């Protein structure tokens, strides 16, 4: 296929995908719904789109959804939070990691880049209360991963994963040690152990995946009218995001202790100190700001009059009962957006708005296991409340600080109650936030 024909065919796929926007999977399938096949797993949305929109059947030996174009279809789930904002629900799971193959690959010849360089991303609105066939397509666009400013970081992440396997340490792979491209696990319900080269230790089966922050960024660019399709058709130089290590971040933060950030926002919202610091960083160290925004870092602030953290730290993540009830721990937004992060806590002097100190930390493997207990304890408690069957407000018995499980829940100051409808009954549950115990931070 010549270049002109290739671009014409790619444009045709893009235009067909655009026509699906605003329609549900059921509407897209129409009278053909009975003939559409899908497996009842995470791939079912893709299976329906593939057949209903593009008339491509399910074939086990397909390398790409669109073989002639070397283009892969990737649906991305969005969900509404309690404030009516659409957020990315989960990471984008890519192809499997074959331990015996990755050790002999170069990045250019790897299964990863050959499978995932060109992606047709179709976002859809996930709703826990609806049948998946009633999910609505929100947007559709084609993106070339190699044309993105984050590509340099993605290459580095792939090399870091490869290096672990080459050293016979695939058991040390985890989703938090890379920046954008992760070696993610399947659900806790599926723990397949595989052989690895250079070691007799059996290890968990893993996939490549893109983290939530990277997905937020590419979707945000699309909303800001960045035309990914033109990026593919036009040759242009890509400015890579710089790579920063923890030591470099710490060194910079040390250099700005004592800086007054009050002039960097006019907002008077509750989170204005956070906005002011982010604006300061964006204006004074754009490279670091861009890096933190798309990688597995989480920037939060703490107002204090002491240079040491004397209290627990809020994750600013509110409990979502539907998420707790329906998602497994490692596939939840909570896990991917809270548990996997390296936290950068900026301590701000509440008397003069100056940067007072900072702290970098992430949860240890032991702490993550404790957090998993908190997650499933919350599920049992919500199930207990639903089983009682009363519609008035019920006080849940969630994990507390004294339980010493790394993370606990406490009532949110943002709202008093949240009303959830389950089995046609409304339940009032007080709004709760997840907090990280202080002892986790100072281990």
Which of these, 431, 380, 439, 442, lies nearest to 409 by C-alpha position? 431
Cβ atoms of residues 219 and 87 within 8 Å:
no
Structure-token match 């990691």, residue found: 97
State the virtual CA torsion across 181, 223, 115, 337 in degrees, nearest 10.
30
Cβ atoms of residues 28 and 49 within 8 Å:
yes
pLDDT tens, residue by residue, 241-298: 888 999 999 999 999 999 999 999 988 877 899 999 999 999 999 999 999 999 999 9
| Domains, the chain | 3-233 (3.40.600.10), 246-441 (3.40.600.10)
- How far is it, in rounded angstroms, from Cα 413 to Cα 354? 25
Which of these, 125, 133, 140, lies nearest to 25 by C-alpha position? 133
Q: Indicate the burial class of 300 (C-beta count within 10 angstroms; 0-12, 13-18, 19 or more).
A: middle
Full 3-state SS string of 54-87: CCCCCCCCCCCCEHHHCEEEEEEEEEECCCCCEE
The pTM score is 0.91
Residue 11 has pLDDT above 70, yes or no: yes
- How far is it, in rounded angstroms, from Cα 84 to Cα 82? 5
In this prediction, residue 233 has a pLDDT band, given cuts at 50, 70 and 90, of: confident
Q: What share of the chain is helix, strand, coil (3-state, %, to 5)?
A: 40, 25, 35
Cβ atoms of residues 67 and 112 within 8 Å:
no
Residue 229 structure tokens: 């399709």
pLDDT tens, residue by residue, 150-182: 999 999 999 999 999 999 999 999 888 899 999
Angle between the N-to-C axes of helices 286-294 and 212-223, in degrees from 0 to 180, rounded to the nearest 10: 110
Q: Give the pairing type, strands 118-125 and 72-80.
A: parallel
């Amino acid at each position: 296929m010549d270049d002109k024909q290739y671009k014409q065919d790619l444009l045709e796929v893009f235009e067909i995908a655009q026509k699906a926007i605003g329609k549900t999977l059921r509407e897209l399938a129409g009278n053909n719904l009975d003939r559409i096949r899908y497996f009842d797993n995470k791939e079912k949305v893709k299976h329906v789109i593939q057949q209903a929109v593009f008339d491509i059947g399910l074939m086990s030996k397909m390398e790409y959804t669109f073989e002639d174009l070397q283009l892969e279809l990737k649906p991305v789930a969005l969900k509404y939070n309690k404030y009516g904002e659409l957020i990315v629900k989960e990471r984008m799971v890519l192809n499997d990691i074959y331990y015996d193959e990755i050790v002999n690959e170069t990045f250019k010849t790897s299964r990863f880049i050959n499978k995932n360089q060109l992606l047709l991303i179709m976002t859809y609105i996930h709703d826990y209360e609806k049948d998946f066939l009633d999910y609505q397509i929100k947007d559709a666009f084609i993106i070339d991963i190699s044309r993105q400013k984050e590509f340099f970081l993605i290459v580095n992440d792939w090399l870091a994963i490869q290096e672990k396997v080459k050293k016979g340490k695939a058991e040390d792979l985890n989703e938090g040690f890379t920046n954008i491209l992760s070696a993610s696990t399947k659900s806790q319900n599926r723990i397949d152990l595989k052989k690895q080269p250079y070691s007799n230790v059996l290890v968990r089966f893993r996939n490549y995946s893109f983290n939530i922050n990277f997905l937020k960024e590419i979707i945000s660019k699309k909303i800001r009218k960045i035309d990914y399709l033109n990026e593919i058709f036009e040759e242009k130089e890509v400015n890579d995001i710089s790579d920063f290590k923890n030591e470099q971040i710490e060194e910079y933060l040390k250099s700005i202790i004592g800086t007054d950030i009050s002039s960097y926002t006019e907002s008077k919202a509750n989170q204005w100190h956070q906005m002011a610091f982010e604006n300061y960083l964006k204006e004074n160290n754009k490279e670091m700001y861009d890096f933190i925004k798309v990688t597995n870092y989480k920037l939060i602030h703490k107002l204090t009059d002491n240079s040491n953290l004397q209290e627990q730290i809020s994750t600013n993540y509110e409990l979502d009962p539907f998420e707790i009830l329906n998602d497994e721990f490692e596939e939840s937004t909570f896990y991917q957006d809270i548990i996997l992060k390296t936290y950068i806590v900026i301590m701000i002097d509440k008397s003069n708005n100056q940067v007072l100190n900072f702290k970098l930390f992430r949860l240890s493997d032991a702490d993550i296991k404790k957090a998993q207990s908190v997650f499933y304890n919350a599920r049992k408690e919500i199930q207990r409340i639903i089983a009682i069957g009363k519609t008035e407000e019920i006080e849940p018995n969630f994990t507390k600080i004294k339980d010493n499980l790394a993370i606990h829940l406490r009532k949110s100051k943002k709202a008093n109650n949240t009303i959830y409808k389950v089995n046609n009954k409304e339940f009032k549950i007080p709004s709760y936030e997840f907090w990280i115990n202080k002892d986790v931070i100072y281990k």
